[in-house]
């Protein structure tokens, strides 16, 4: 079991005020690794900011690829995962005009 730490209320409030915004989550979350967004979400949950933790994870997941922990999309049945990092891209036939 992890040790419990005490964070002064004003420090916790300042942290959640700074990091619990949809704008910052959408701007920053995609640039974080899965372990980094998980650590931030865990801290936010510990501070009682459940909704913000979910928003950070969801914003991060939007750019995750099929092999990433938070991936929420669908991998096409015929997609192959390259051995160099397991990243996939849709084939030109799968591209959609937007």
In this prediction, residue 13 carries a pLDDT of: 93
- Confidence class of residue 4 from pLDDT cuts 50, 70 and 90? confident
Q: Is 29 left (phi over 0), alpha (psi -120 to 50) or beta?
A: alpha
Q: What is the pLDDT of residues 19-76, one digit of tens each?
A: 998 899 888 888 888 889 889 999 999 999 999 998 888 887 776 555 555 555 555 5
- Of 1-10, 64-73, 74-83, 85-94, least confident by mean pLDDT is 85-94
């Amino acid at each position: 079991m992890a040790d419990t730490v005490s964070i002064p209320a004003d420090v916790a409030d300042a942290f959640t005020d700074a990091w619990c915004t949809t704008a910052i989550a959408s701007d920053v979350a995609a640039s974080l690794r899965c372990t980094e967004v998980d650590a931030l979400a865990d801290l936010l949950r510990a501070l009682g900011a459940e909704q913000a933790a979910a928003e950070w994870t969801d914003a991060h997941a939007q750019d995750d690829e099929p092999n990433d922990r938070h991936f929420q999309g669908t991998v096409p049945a015929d997609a192959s995962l390259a051995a160099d990092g397991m990243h996939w891209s849709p084939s030109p036939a799968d591209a959609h005009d937007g």
